[in-house]
Structure 1
Protein backbone atom coordinates (compact mmCIF):
# COMPACT_ATOMS: atom_id res chain seq x y z
CA UNK A 1 0.00 0.00 0.00
CA UNK A 2 2.87 2.35 0.87
CA UNK A 3 4.54 1.47 -2.44
CA UNK A 4 1.37 2.43 -4.32
CA UNK A 5 1.24 5.77 -2.51
CA UNK A 6 4.86 6.50 -3.43
CA UNK A 7 4.29 5.62 -7.08
CA UNK A 8 1.28 7.93 -7.19
CA UNK A 9 3.31 10.70 -5.53
CA UNK A 10 6.04 10.39 -8.15
CA UNK A 11 3.46 10.34 -10.96
CA UNK A 12 1.91 13.53 -9.57
CA UNK A 13 5.37 15.13 -9.32
CA UNK A 14 6.04 14.49 -13.01
CA UNK A 15 2.55 15.73 -13.94
CA UNK A 16 3.11 18.94 -11.98
CA UNK A 17 6.38 19.53 -13.82
CA UNK A 18 4.52 19.26 -17.12
CA UNK A 19 1.85 21.72 -15.99
CA UNK A 20 4.40 24.20 -14.65
CA UNK A 21 6.39 23.86 -17.86
CA UNK A 22 3.52 25.47 -19.75
CA UNK A 23 2.62 28.00 -17.03
CA UNK A 24 5.36 30.50 -17.91
CA UNK A 25 3.96 30.75 -21.45
CA UNK A 26 0.38 31.25 -20.26
CA UNK A 27 1.48 33.81 -17.65
CA UNK A 28 3.22 35.89 -20.31
CA UNK A 29 0.14 35.67 -22.54
CA UNK A 30 -2.16 36.80 -19.73
CA UNK A 31 0.13 39.68 -18.75
CA UNK A 32 -0.11 41.00 -22.29
CA UNK A 33 -3.81 41.64 -21.64
CA UNK A 34 -3.97 42.66 -17.96
CA UNK A 35 -1.96 43.93 -15.01
CA UNK A 36 -0.21 41.47 -12.70
CA UNK A 37 -2.77 41.90 -9.89
CA UNK A 38 -5.76 41.52 -12.22
CA UNK A 39 -4.19 38.42 -13.74
CA UNK A 40 -3.69 36.90 -10.29
CA UNK A 41 -7.25 37.80 -9.31
CA UNK A 42 -8.83 36.06 -12.28
CA UNK A 43 -6.47 33.13 -11.84
CA UNK A 44 -7.70 32.53 -8.30
CA UNK A 45 -11.32 33.25 -9.15
CA UNK A 46 -11.10 30.22 -11.44
CA UNK A 47 -9.36 28.12 -8.76
CA UNK A 48 -11.78 29.06 -5.99
CA UNK A 49 -14.97 28.58 -8.02
CA UNK A 50 -13.91 25.21 -9.42
CA UNK A 51 -13.03 23.82 -5.97
CA UNK A 52 -15.97 25.41 -4.12
CA UNK A 53 -18.52 23.48 -6.16
CA UNK A 54 -17.45 19.97 -4.97
CA UNK A 55 -16.93 21.28 -1.42
CA UNK A 56 -20.43 22.77 -1.24
CA UNK A 57 -21.94 19.66 -2.82
CA UNK A 58 -20.17 17.49 -0.26
CA UNK A 59 -18.12 15.58 -2.80
CA UNK A 60 -14.95 16.83 -1.06
CA UNK A 61 -14.95 16.88 2.73
CA UNK A 62 -13.15 19.68 4.60
CA UNK A 63 -13.14 20.14 8.38
CA UNK A 64 -10.90 22.70 10.09
CA UNK A 65 -12.16 22.28 13.66
CA UNK A 66 -9.38 21.81 16.23
CA UNK A 67 -6.64 22.11 13.61
CA UNK A 68 -3.68 24.56 13.49
CA UNK A 69 -5.32 27.17 11.25
CA UNK A 70 -2.70 29.79 12.13
CA UNK A 71 0.10 27.70 10.65
CA UNK A 72 -2.04 26.92 7.62
CA UNK A 73 -2.62 30.65 7.04
CA UNK A 74 1.15 31.20 7.31
CA UNK A 75 1.51 28.54 4.63
CA UNK A 76 -0.91 30.47 2.40
CA UNK A 77 1.16 33.65 2.76
CA UNK A 78 4.11 31.77 1.27
CA UNK A 79 2.09 29.99 -1.40
CA UNK A 80 0.02 31.19 -3.18
CA UNK A 81 0.26 34.82 -1.95
CA UNK A 82 4.02 35.26 -1.76
CA UNK A 83 5.02 32.96 -4.60
CA UNK A 84 2.60 34.18 -7.27
CA UNK A 85 2.89 37.86 -6.38
CA UNK A 86 6.67 37.71 -6.62
CA UNK A 87 6.52 35.63 -9.80
CA UNK A 88 4.09 37.78 -11.72
CA UNK A 89 5.91 41.04 -10.90
CA UNK A 90 9.27 39.38 -11.43
CA UNK A 91 8.33 38.18 -14.91
CA UNK A 92 7.24 41.70 -15.77
CA UNK A 93 10.69 43.06 -14.92
CA UNK A 94 12.81 40.12 -16.10
CA UNK A 95 12.80 37.61 -18.94
CA UNK A 96 11.26 34.14 -19.00
CA UNK A 97 14.79 32.73 -19.37
CA UNK A 98 15.88 34.43 -16.17
CA UNK A 99 12.75 33.10 -14.50
CA UNK A 100 13.65 29.59 -15.62
CA UNK A 101 17.22 29.85 -14.35
CA UNK A 102 16.25 31.18 -10.92
CA UNK A 103 13.35 28.76 -10.53
CA UNK A 104 15.82 25.90 -11.06
CA UNK A 105 17.48 26.77 -7.75
CA UNK A 106 14.30 25.86 -5.83
CA UNK A 107 15.57 22.33 -4.97
CA UNK A 108 18.77 23.74 -3.46
CA UNK A 109 16.93 26.31 -1.35
CA UNK A 110 14.39 23.67 -0.30
CA UNK A 111 17.12 21.24 0.68
CA UNK A 112 18.74 23.87 2.92
CA UNK A 113 15.49 24.96 4.60
CA UNK A 114 14.26 21.36 5.01
CA UNK A 115 17.53 20.36 6.68
CA UNK A 116 17.14 23.20 9.19
CA UNK A 117 13.44 22.98 10.05
CA UNK A 118 12.51 19.37 9.26
CA UNK A 119 15.90 17.84 9.98
CA UNK A 120 15.73 16.10 6.61
CA UNK A 121 19.01 14.45 5.79
CA UNK A 122 20.37 14.10 2.29
CA UNK A 123 23.35 11.98 1.34
CA UNK A 124 26.30 13.37 -0.56
CA UNK A 125 25.06 11.51 -3.64
CA UNK A 126 21.62 13.16 -3.34
CA UNK A 127 23.20 16.60 -2.95
CA UNK A 128 25.29 16.03 -6.06
CA UNK A 129 22.22 14.85 -8.00
CA UNK A 130 20.25 17.95 -6.95
CA UNK A 131 23.07 20.21 -8.09
CA UNK A 132 23.34 18.19 -11.31
CA UNK A 133 19.69 18.93 -12.15
CA UNK A 134 20.21 22.63 -11.40
CA UNK A 135 23.33 22.71 -13.58
CA UNK A 136 21.35 21.11 -16.41
CA UNK A 137 18.84 23.97 -16.38
CA UNK A 138 21.48 26.69 -16.08
CA UNK A 139 23.53 25.07 -18.86
CA UNK A 140 20.58 25.19 -21.27
CA UNK A 141 19.77 28.85 -20.64
CA UNK A 142 23.38 30.02 -20.75
CA UNK A 143 24.06 28.15 -24.00
CA UNK A 144 21.02 29.75 -25.65
CA UNK A 145 22.21 33.19 -24.55
CA UNK A 146 19.69 33.56 -21.76
CA UNK A 147 21.95 34.37 -18.86
CA UNK A 148 21.14 36.75 -16.02
CA UNK A 149 21.25 40.45 -16.90
CA UNK A 150 22.19 42.80 -14.07
CA UNK A 151 20.03 45.49 -15.70
CA UNK A 152 17.05 43.34 -14.66
CA UNK A 153 18.25 43.21 -11.06
CA UNK A 154 14.87 44.04 -9.49
CA UNK A 155 13.13 41.30 -11.44
CA UNK A 156 15.91 38.83 -10.70
CA UNK A 157 15.61 39.51 -6.96
CA UNK A 158 11.84 39.02 -7.04
CA UNK A 159 12.19 35.77 -9.00
CA UNK A 160 14.82 34.47 -6.59
CA UNK A 161 12.47 35.19 -3.70
CA UNK A 162 9.89 32.93 -5.39
CA UNK A 163 12.27 30.03 -4.79
CA UNK A 164 12.44 30.95 -1.09
CA UNK A 165 8.65 31.21 -0.90
CA UNK A 166 8.13 27.85 -2.60
CA UNK A 167 10.79 26.20 -0.45
CA UNK A 168 9.13 27.57 2.68
CA UNK A 169 5.77 26.28 1.48
CA UNK A 170 7.19 22.82 0.76
CA UNK A 171 8.71 22.53 4.21
CA UNK A 172 5.67 23.85 6.12
CA UNK A 173 3.17 21.85 4.02
CA UNK A 174 5.04 18.64 4.80
CA UNK A 175 4.82 19.34 8.53
CA UNK A 176 1.09 20.17 8.23
CA UNK A 177 0.30 17.03 6.21
CA UNK A 178 -0.31 15.13 9.44
CA UNK A 179 -3.01 17.56 10.61
CA UNK A 180 -4.79 18.38 7.32
CA UNK A 181 -5.84 16.42 4.27
CA UNK A 182 -4.47 17.65 0.90
CA UNK A 183 -7.97 18.94 0.04
CA UNK A 184 -8.24 20.93 3.27
CA UNK A 185 -4.89 22.63 2.77
CA UNK A 186 -5.59 23.20 -0.92
CA UNK A 187 -9.04 24.74 -0.37
CA UNK A 188 -7.73 27.06 2.34
CA UNK A 189 -4.90 28.20 0.08
CA UNK A 190 -7.23 28.83 -2.87
CA UNK A 191 -9.68 30.74 -0.67
CA UNK A 192 -6.96 32.97 0.80
CA UNK A 193 -5.56 33.68 -2.66
CA UNK A 194 -9.01 34.45 -4.09
CA UNK A 195 -10.10 36.81 -1.29
CA UNK A 196 -6.76 38.61 -0.96
CA UNK A 197 -6.09 39.27 -4.64
CA UNK A 198 -9.73 40.21 -5.34
CA UNK A 199 -9.79 42.79 -2.52
CA UNK A 200 -6.43 44.30 -3.48
CA UNK A 201 -7.22 44.47 -7.18
CA UNK A 202 -10.73 45.94 -6.82
CA UNK A 203 -9.58 48.41 -4.15
CA UNK A 204 -6.81 49.64 -6.42
CA UNK A 205 -9.19 50.16 -9.34
CA UNK A 206 -11.75 51.96 -7.16
CA UNK A 207 -9.12 54.35 -5.78
CA UNK A 208 -7.76 55.06 -9.27
CA UNK A 209 -11.21 55.30 -10.82
CA UNK A 210 -10.43 52.54 -13.32
CA UNK A 211 -12.92 49.87 -12.26
CA UNK A 212 -13.93 49.38 -15.90
CA UNK A 213 -10.38 48.26 -16.71
CA UNK A 214 -10.82 45.28 -14.38
CA UNK A 215 -13.34 43.75 -16.78
CA UNK A 216 -11.65 44.68 -20.07
CA UNK A 217 -9.40 41.58 -20.26
CA UNK A 218 -12.52 39.39 -20.38
CA UNK A 219 -12.98 40.52 -23.98
CA UNK A 220 -9.88 38.51 -24.89
CA UNK A 221 -10.28 34.78 -25.37
CA UNK A 222 -6.54 34.37 -24.99
CA UNK A 223 -6.72 35.95 -21.55
CA UNK A 224 -9.67 33.79 -20.49
CA UNK A 225 -8.03 30.56 -21.66
CA UNK A 226 -4.73 31.56 -20.02
CA UNK A 227 -6.41 32.29 -16.67
CA UNK A 228 -8.38 29.05 -16.80
CA UNK A 229 -5.19 27.11 -17.37
CA UNK A 230 -3.29 29.03 -14.69
CA UNK A 231 -6.15 28.89 -12.21
CA UNK A 232 -7.31 25.30 -12.65
CA UNK A 233 -4.22 23.41 -13.78
CA UNK A 234 -1.26 25.48 -12.59
CA UNK A 235 -2.80 26.56 -9.27
CA UNK A 236 -5.55 24.21 -8.10
CA UNK A 237 -4.37 20.87 -9.52
CA UNK A 238 -0.70 21.39 -8.65
CA UNK A 239 -1.59 22.58 -5.15
CA UNK A 240 -3.73 19.54 -4.38
CA UNK A 241 -1.23 17.11 -5.82
CA UNK A 242 1.76 18.85 -4.18
CA UNK A 243 0.09 18.56 -0.79
CA UNK A 244 -0.40 14.83 -1.46
CA UNK A 245 3.20 14.43 -2.64
CA UNK A 246 4.55 16.15 0.46
CA UNK A 247 2.61 13.73 2.65
CA UNK A 248 4.54 10.85 1.03
CA UNK A 249 8.07 12.05 0.26
CA UNK A 250 10.57 14.60 1.60
CA UNK A 251 10.36 18.24 0.57
CA UNK A 252 13.87 18.13 -0.95
CA UNK A 253 12.98 15.04 -3.00
CA UNK A 254 9.82 16.65 -4.37
CA UNK A 255 11.35 20.00 -5.21
CA UNK A 256 13.94 18.52 -7.59
CA UNK A 257 11.07 17.53 -9.91
CA UNK A 258 10.44 21.22 -10.60
CA UNK A 259 13.44 21.25 -12.93
CA UNK A 260 11.69 18.81 -15.25
CA UNK A 261 9.48 21.76 -16.25
CA UNK A 262 12.42 23.12 -18.26
CA UNK A 263 12.37 20.02 -20.46
CA UNK A 264 8.62 20.45 -20.94
CA UNK A 265 9.14 24.07 -21.98
CA UNK A 266 11.70 22.98 -24.57
CA UNK A 267 9.40 20.28 -25.94
CA UNK A 268 6.45 22.69 -26.03
CA UNK A 269 8.48 25.27 -27.90
CA UNK A 270 9.52 22.68 -30.46
CA UNK A 271 6.08 21.13 -30.96
CA UNK A 272 3.87 24.23 -30.69
CA UNK A 273 6.11 27.08 -31.84
CA UNK A 274 8.49 25.16 -34.09
CA UNK A 275 11.54 26.23 -32.08
CA UNK A 276 14.84 24.48 -32.79
CA UNK A 277 16.10 21.79 -30.40
CA UNK A 278 19.90 21.77 -30.30
CA UNK A 279 22.50 19.44 -28.84
CA UNK A 280 22.84 21.58 -25.70
CA UNK A 281 19.09 21.19 -25.11
CA UNK A 282 19.56 17.44 -25.22
CA UNK A 283 22.64 17.48 -22.95
CA UNK A 284 20.96 19.77 -20.42
CA UNK A 285 17.79 17.67 -20.42
CA UNK A 286 19.77 14.48 -19.80
CA UNK A 287 21.54 16.14 -16.86
CA UNK A 288 18.20 17.24 -15.39
CA UNK A 289 16.69 13.77 -15.71
CA UNK A 290 19.77 12.11 -14.21
CA UNK A 291 19.64 14.54 -11.31
CA UNK A 292 15.95 13.93 -10.62
CA UNK A 293 16.23 10.14 -10.92
CA UNK A 294 19.44 10.02 -8.88
CA UNK A 295 18.00 12.08 -6.04
CA UNK A 296 14.91 9.94 -5.67
CA UNK A 297 16.63 6.63 -6.44
CA UNK A 298 19.01 7.23 -3.53
CA UNK A 299 16.02 8.05 -1.33
CA UNK A 300 14.20 4.82 -2.16
CA UNK A 301 17.33 2.78 -1.60
CA UNK A 302 17.72 4.47 1.78
CA UNK A 303 14.13 3.65 2.72
CA UNK A 304 14.61 0.01 1.72
CA UNK A 305 17.81 -0.16 3.74
CA UNK A 306 15.99 1.13 6.83
CA UNK A 307 13.30 -1.49 6.40
CA UNK A 308 15.85 -4.28 6.12
CA UNK A 309 17.74 -2.94 9.10
Structure 2
Protein backbone atom coordinates (compact mmCIF):
# COMPACT_ATOMS: atom_id res chain seq x y z
CA UNK A 1 0.00 0.00 0.00
CA UNK A 2 1.40 3.39 -1.00
CA UNK A 3 2.30 5.86 1.72
CA UNK A 4 0.16 8.56 0.06
CA UNK A 5 -2.94 6.33 0.13
CA UNK A 6 -2.31 5.48 3.77
CA UNK A 7 -1.99 9.13 4.76
CA UNK A 8 -5.08 10.18 2.79
CA UNK A 9 -7.13 7.25 4.08
CA UNK A 10 -6.16 7.78 7.72
CA UNK A 11 -6.80 11.53 7.42
CA UNK A 12 -10.25 10.79 5.99
CA UNK A 13 -11.01 8.35 8.83
CA UNK A 14 -9.89 10.92 11.40
CA UNK A 15 -12.00 13.65 9.78
CA UNK A 16 -15.04 11.40 9.57
CA UNK A 17 -14.91 10.47 13.25
CA UNK A 18 -14.34 14.09 14.27
CA UNK A 19 -17.48 15.12 12.37
CA UNK A 20 -19.46 12.29 13.99
CA UNK A 21 -18.19 13.34 17.41
CA UNK A 22 -19.29 16.95 16.93
CA UNK A 23 -22.79 15.81 15.94
CA UNK A 24 -23.37 14.83 19.58
CA UNK A 25 -23.97 18.42 20.71
CA UNK A 26 -26.45 19.03 17.89
CA UNK A 27 -28.36 15.81 18.60
CA UNK A 28 -28.48 16.65 22.30
CA UNK A 29 -30.09 20.04 21.71
CA UNK A 30 -32.36 18.99 18.83
CA UNK A 31 -33.98 16.03 20.59
CA UNK A 32 -35.13 18.17 23.50
CA UNK A 33 -38.21 19.12 21.49
CA UNK A 34 -38.24 16.50 18.71
CA UNK A 35 -38.17 12.73 18.43
CA UNK A 36 -35.09 10.90 17.13
CA UNK A 37 -37.06 9.72 14.09
CA UNK A 38 -38.05 13.30 13.26
CA UNK A 39 -34.39 14.31 13.36
CA UNK A 40 -33.34 11.32 11.23
CA UNK A 41 -36.09 11.94 8.68
CA UNK A 42 -35.19 15.59 8.20
CA UNK A 43 -31.46 14.84 8.34
CA UNK A 44 -31.47 12.36 5.47
CA UNK A 45 -34.02 14.30 3.42
CA UNK A 46 -31.89 17.46 3.53
CA UNK A 47 -28.69 15.48 2.91
CA UNK A 48 -30.24 13.82 -0.14
CA UNK A 49 -31.46 17.17 -1.50
CA UNK A 50 -28.08 18.85 -0.94
CA UNK A 51 -26.15 16.07 -2.66
CA UNK A 52 -28.69 15.89 -5.50
CA UNK A 53 -28.23 19.63 -6.06
CA UNK A 54 -24.45 19.18 -6.20
CA UNK A 55 -24.89 16.41 -8.79
CA UNK A 56 -27.37 18.40 -10.90
CA UNK A 57 -25.05 21.41 -10.94
CA UNK A 58 -22.15 19.08 -11.85
CA UNK A 59 -20.11 20.03 -8.80
CA UNK A 60 -19.77 16.28 -8.16
CA UNK A 61 -20.36 13.38 -10.52
CA UNK A 62 -21.97 9.95 -10.22
CA UNK A 63 -22.35 7.24 -12.84
CA UNK A 64 -24.33 4.10 -12.08
CA UNK A 65 -24.81 2.97 -15.69
CA UNK A 66 -23.57 -0.52 -16.44
CA UNK A 67 -22.80 -1.25 -12.80
CA UNK A 68 -24.43 -3.94 -10.66
CA UNK A 69 -26.21 -2.06 -7.88
CA UNK A 70 -26.33 -4.93 -5.37
CA UNK A 71 -23.06 -3.97 -3.59
CA UNK A 72 -24.18 -0.38 -2.89
CA UNK A 73 -27.70 -1.54 -2.02
CA UNK A 74 -26.20 -3.82 0.64
CA UNK A 75 -24.07 -0.95 1.93
CA UNK A 76 -27.18 1.23 2.17
CA UNK A 77 -29.17 -1.50 3.91
CA UNK A 78 -26.60 -1.93 6.67
CA UNK A 79 -25.77 1.77 7.00
CA UNK A 80 -27.73 3.95 7.36
CA UNK A 81 -30.97 1.89 7.46
CA UNK A 82 -30.32 -0.98 9.88
CA UNK A 83 -27.56 0.79 11.80
CA UNK A 84 -29.63 3.85 12.67
CA UNK A 85 -32.73 1.79 13.45
CA UNK A 86 -30.65 -0.29 15.86
CA UNK A 87 -28.88 2.72 17.36
CA UNK A 88 -31.97 4.92 17.71
CA UNK A 89 -34.25 2.34 19.31
CA UNK A 90 -31.39 0.74 21.24
CA UNK A 91 -30.44 4.03 22.90
CA UNK A 92 -34.09 4.82 23.65
CA UNK A 93 -34.55 1.49 25.50
CA UNK A 94 -31.25 1.46 27.45
CA UNK A 95 -29.09 3.71 29.57
CA UNK A 96 -26.36 5.93 28.17
CA UNK A 97 -23.63 3.72 29.63
CA UNK A 98 -25.10 0.51 28.18
CA UNK A 99 -25.53 1.95 24.69
CA UNK A 100 -22.03 3.40 24.86
CA UNK A 101 -20.55 0.02 25.81
CA UNK A 102 -22.34 -1.78 22.97
CA UNK A 103 -21.41 0.81 20.34
CA UNK A 104 -17.82 0.82 21.57
CA UNK A 105 -17.57 -2.76 20.34
CA UNK A 106 -18.00 -1.71 16.69
CA UNK A 107 -14.24 -1.71 15.89
CA UNK A 108 -13.89 -5.25 17.23
CA UNK A 109 -16.96 -6.41 15.29
CA UNK A 110 -15.59 -4.77 12.12
CA UNK A 111 -12.26 -6.49 12.64
CA UNK A 112 -13.96 -9.89 13.01
CA UNK A 113 -16.17 -9.29 9.95
CA UNK A 114 -13.15 -8.29 7.87
CA UNK A 115 -11.25 -11.40 8.94
CA UNK A 116 -14.14 -13.79 8.24
CA UNK A 117 -15.64 -12.24 5.10
CA UNK A 118 -12.68 -10.55 3.43
CA UNK A 119 -10.04 -13.01 4.67
CA UNK A 120 -7.89 -10.07 5.75
CA UNK A 121 -6.15 -10.94 8.96
CA UNK A 122 -5.27 -7.86 11.00
CA UNK A 123 -1.74 -7.41 12.22
CA UNK A 124 -0.99 -8.04 15.90
CA UNK A 125 -0.36 -4.31 16.27
CA UNK A 126 -3.78 -3.44 14.84
CA UNK A 127 -5.51 -5.90 17.18
CA UNK A 128 -3.69 -4.48 20.21
CA UNK A 129 -4.44 -0.90 19.14
CA UNK A 130 -8.15 -1.58 18.62
CA UNK A 131 -8.46 -3.41 21.94
CA UNK A 132 -6.72 -0.55 23.75
CA UNK A 133 -9.11 1.89 22.07
CA UNK A 134 -12.05 -0.26 23.21
CA UNK A 135 -10.77 -0.19 26.80
CA UNK A 136 -10.46 3.60 26.62
CA UNK A 137 -14.02 4.00 25.35
CA UNK A 138 -15.38 1.68 28.05
CA UNK A 139 -13.58 3.60 30.79
CA UNK A 140 -14.91 6.91 29.43
CA UNK A 141 -18.49 5.68 29.07
CA UNK A 142 -18.74 3.83 32.37
CA UNK A 143 -17.19 6.71 34.28
CA UNK A 144 -19.92 9.08 33.10
CA UNK A 145 -22.96 6.89 33.79
CA UNK A 146 -22.90 3.35 35.13
CA UNK A 147 -26.64 2.68 35.33
CA UNK A 148 -28.27 -0.38 33.77
CA UNK A 149 -31.68 -0.93 32.22
CA UNK A 150 -31.67 -4.72 31.73
CA UNK A 151 -33.71 -4.17 28.55
CA UNK A 152 -33.40 -7.24 26.34
CA UNK A 153 -35.07 -5.51 23.39
CA UNK A 154 -32.72 -2.55 23.83
CA UNK A 155 -29.69 -4.87 23.82
CA UNK A 156 -30.96 -6.59 20.67
CA UNK A 157 -31.35 -3.27 18.87
CA UNK A 158 -27.84 -2.23 19.91
CA UNK A 159 -26.48 -5.58 18.76
CA UNK A 160 -28.20 -4.94 15.42
CA UNK A 161 -26.42 -1.57 15.21
CA UNK A 162 -23.02 -3.09 15.96
CA UNK A 163 -23.38 -5.94 13.47
CA UNK A 164 -24.85 -3.66 10.79
CA UNK A 165 -21.96 -1.21 10.98
CA UNK A 166 -19.43 -4.03 10.82
CA UNK A 167 -21.11 -5.44 7.70
CA UNK A 168 -21.30 -1.96 6.18
CA UNK A 169 -17.51 -1.63 6.41
CA UNK A 170 -17.05 -5.01 4.73
CA UNK A 171 -19.35 -4.23 1.80
CA UNK A 172 -17.80 -0.79 1.28
CA UNK A 173 -14.47 -2.50 0.74
CA UNK A 174 -16.12 -5.00 -1.62
CA UNK A 175 -17.84 -2.32 -3.73
CA UNK A 176 -14.76 -1.65 -5.86
CA UNK A 177 -16.76 -0.48 -8.90
CA UNK A 178 -18.24 2.50 -7.07
CA UNK A 179 -16.61 5.75 -5.99
CA UNK A 180 -17.01 7.08 -2.47
CA UNK A 181 -19.40 9.72 -3.79
CA UNK A 182 -21.57 7.13 -5.54
CA UNK A 183 -21.76 4.94 -2.43
CA UNK A 184 -22.57 7.95 -0.27
CA UNK A 185 -25.36 9.11 -2.61
CA UNK A 186 -27.00 5.68 -2.60
CA UNK A 187 -26.80 5.62 1.21
CA UNK A 188 -28.53 9.00 1.39
CA UNK A 189 -31.28 7.87 -0.98
CA UNK A 190 -31.95 4.83 1.23
CA UNK A 191 -31.81 6.91 4.41
CA UNK A 192 -34.25 9.49 3.04
CA UNK A 193 -36.73 6.86 1.82
CA UNK A 194 -36.75 4.87 5.06
CA UNK A 195 -36.47 7.55 7.73
CA UNK A 196 -38.80 10.08 6.12
CA UNK A 197 -41.39 7.28 5.91
CA UNK A 198 -40.83 6.31 9.56
CA UNK A 199 -40.94 9.95 10.73
CA UNK A 200 -44.19 10.59 8.83
CA UNK A 201 -45.72 7.38 10.19
CA UNK A 202 -44.77 8.31 13.75
CA UNK A 203 -46.14 11.83 13.33
CA UNK A 204 -49.37 10.50 11.83
CA UNK A 205 -49.89 8.12 14.75
CA UNK A 206 -49.19 10.92 17.24
CA UNK A 207 -51.40 13.41 15.35
CA UNK A 208 -48.41 15.73 14.94
CA UNK A 209 -47.91 15.71 11.16
CA UNK A 210 -48.14 19.51 10.85
CA UNK A 211 -45.66 19.93 13.70
CA UNK A 212 -43.16 17.62 11.97
CA UNK A 213 -43.43 19.44 8.65
CA UNK A 214 -43.00 22.91 10.19
CA UNK A 215 -40.42 21.90 12.81
CA UNK A 216 -37.31 23.32 11.06
CA UNK A 217 -39.12 26.64 10.57
CA UNK A 218 -40.27 26.94 14.19
CA UNK A 219 -37.26 25.54 16.07
CA UNK A 220 -33.87 27.13 15.39
CA UNK A 221 -31.96 24.50 17.38
CA UNK A 222 -33.61 21.72 15.39
CA UNK A 223 -32.85 23.46 12.08
CA UNK A 224 -29.21 23.94 13.06
CA UNK A 225 -28.92 20.29 14.04
CA UNK A 226 -30.52 19.12 10.79
CA UNK A 227 -28.20 21.25 8.67
CA UNK A 228 -25.08 20.08 10.50
CA UNK A 229 -26.06 16.42 10.53
CA UNK A 230 -27.24 16.49 6.92
CA UNK A 231 -24.17 18.20 5.49
CA UNK A 232 -21.49 17.40 8.07
CA UNK A 233 -22.46 14.00 9.47
CA UNK A 234 -24.16 12.58 6.39
CA UNK A 235 -22.78 13.99 3.15
CA UNK A 236 -19.22 14.80 4.25
CA UNK A 237 -18.63 12.28 7.05
CA UNK A 238 -20.16 9.37 5.13
CA UNK A 239 -18.06 10.20 2.08
CA UNK A 240 -14.90 10.41 4.21
CA UNK A 241 -15.75 7.10 5.88
CA UNK A 242 -16.33 5.35 2.55
CA UNK A 243 -13.15 6.89 1.15
CA UNK A 244 -11.10 5.82 4.17
CA UNK A 245 -12.28 2.21 4.04
CA UNK A 246 -11.58 2.05 0.30
CA UNK A 247 -8.08 3.47 0.80
CA UNK A 248 -6.82 1.75 3.96
CA UNK A 249 -9.23 -1.14 4.54
CA UNK A 250 -11.65 -2.04 7.30
CA UNK A 251 -9.13 -2.92 10.00
CA UNK A 252 -7.19 0.33 9.92
CA UNK A 253 -10.27 2.54 9.41
CA UNK A 254 -12.04 0.84 12.35
CA UNK A 255 -9.22 1.80 14.70
CA UNK A 256 -10.27 5.47 14.44
CA UNK A 257 -13.85 4.96 15.65
CA UNK A 258 -12.98 5.80 19.26
CA UNK A 259 -11.92 9.29 18.21
CA UNK A 260 -15.58 10.31 17.94
CA UNK A 261 -15.93 9.61 21.67
CA UNK A 262 -13.03 11.91 22.50
CA UNK A 263 -14.40 14.67 20.25
CA UNK A 264 -17.92 14.34 21.70
CA UNK A 265 -16.53 14.67 25.25
CA UNK A 266 -14.53 17.78 24.38
CA UNK A 267 -17.51 19.27 22.53
CA UNK A 268 -19.77 18.57 25.51
CA UNK A 269 -17.36 20.33 27.87
CA UNK A 270 -16.78 23.34 25.61
CA UNK A 271 -20.31 23.93 24.30
CA UNK A 272 -22.69 22.29 26.80
CA UNK A 273 -20.76 22.82 30.03
CA UNK A 274 -20.64 19.12 30.82
CA UNK A 275 -18.31 17.72 33.47
CA UNK A 276 -14.96 16.30 32.34
CA UNK A 277 -13.56 14.17 35.16
CA UNK A 278 -10.33 12.33 35.72
CA UNK A 279 -11.59 9.02 34.35
CA UNK A 280 -12.72 10.70 31.14
CA UNK A 281 -9.24 12.18 30.74
CA UNK A 282 -7.66 8.76 31.29
CA UNK A 283 -10.10 7.17 28.84
CA UNK A 284 -9.38 9.82 26.19
CA UNK A 285 -5.63 9.31 26.51
CA UNK A 286 -6.05 5.53 26.21
CA UNK A 287 -8.25 5.93 23.11
CA UNK A 288 -5.70 8.15 21.38
CA UNK A 289 -2.91 5.74 22.37
CA UNK A 290 -4.82 2.81 20.88
CA UNK A 291 -5.42 4.66 17.61
CA UNK A 292 -1.74 5.58 17.42
CA UNK A 293 -0.59 2.02 18.07
CA UNK A 294 -2.91 0.64 15.40
CA UNK A 295 -1.49 3.03 12.82
CA UNK A 296 2.07 3.81 13.91
CA UNK A 297 3.57 1.65 11.15
CA UNK A 298 3.03 4.59 8.79
CA UNK A 299 6.33 6.28 8.18
CA UNK A 300 5.90 9.94 7.32
Q: Partner residue of 2:15? A: 15
Q: Partner residue of 1:283? A: 282
* 1:6-31 deviation digits (Å, cap 9, x = unpaired): 21221121112211112233223322
Shifted more, 198-207 versus 72-81: the winner is 198-207
Q: Partner residue of 1:293? A: 292
* 1:246-273 deviation digits (Å, cap 9, x = unpaired): 1111202111211011111221222223
5+ long unaligned stretches in structure 1: 305-309
Q: Is the 8 A contact 2:129 2:255 kept in 1?
A: no
Shifted more, 266-275 versus 216-225: the winner is 266-275
5+ long unaligned stretches in structure 2: none
* 1:149-176 deviation digits (Å, cap 9, x = unpaired): 1434433332232121111101100110
Q: Is the 8 A contact 1:42 1:227 kept in 2?
A: yes
Q: Is the 8 A contact 1:120 1:250 kept in 2?
A: no
Q: Partner residue of 1:201? A: 199
Q: Partner residue of 1:142? A: 142
| Alpha-carbon distance between aligned partners in 1 of 2:203 and 2:142, rounded to the nearest angstrom | 40
Q: Partner residue of 2:180? A: 182
Shift in alpha-carbon separation, 1:215–1:243, aligned structure 2, 3 A: same
Shifted more, 159-168 versus 23-32: the winner is 23-32
Q: Is the 8 A contact 2:85 2:157 kept in 1?
A: no
Q: Is the 8 A contact 1:126 1:294 kept in 2?
A: yes
Q: Partner residue of 1:167? A: 166
* 1:173-226 deviation digits (Å, cap 9, x = unpaired): 0110x2001111111111121122223433554566542232242211111111
TM-score (norm 2): 0.91
Q: 1:136: Cα distance to partner?
A: 0.8
* 1:84-103 deviation digits (Å, cap 9, x = unpaired): 12222222223333333222
Q: Partner residue of 1:42? A: 42
Shift in alpha-carbon separation, 1:199–1:284, aligned structure 2, 3 A: closer
| Alpha-carbon distance between aligned partners in 1 of 2:207 and 2:114, rounded to the nearest angstrom | 45
* 1:59-97 deviation digits (Å, cap 9, x = unpaired): 211111121202211210101111112222222223333
Shift in alpha-carbon separation, 1:207–1:160, aligned structure 2, 3 A: closer
Q: Partner residue of 1:230? A: 229
Shifted more, 23-32 versus 246-255: the winner is 23-32
Q: Is the 8 A contact 1:129 1:294 kept in 2?
A: yes
Shifted more, 31-40 versus 103-112: the winner is 31-40
Shifted more, 79-88 versus 272-281: the winner is 272-281
SS of the aligned residue for 1:249 comes to helix
- Give aligned pairs, total: 299
Q: Partner residue of 1:240? A: 239
Shift in alpha-carbon separation, 1:95–1:20, aligned structure 2, 3 A: farther
Q: Partner residue of 2:77? A: 77
Shift in alpha-carbon separation, 1:93–1:208, aligned structure 2, 3 A: closer
Cα RMSD between the aligned structures?
2.2
Q: Is the 8 A contact 1:106 1:256 kept in 2?
A: no
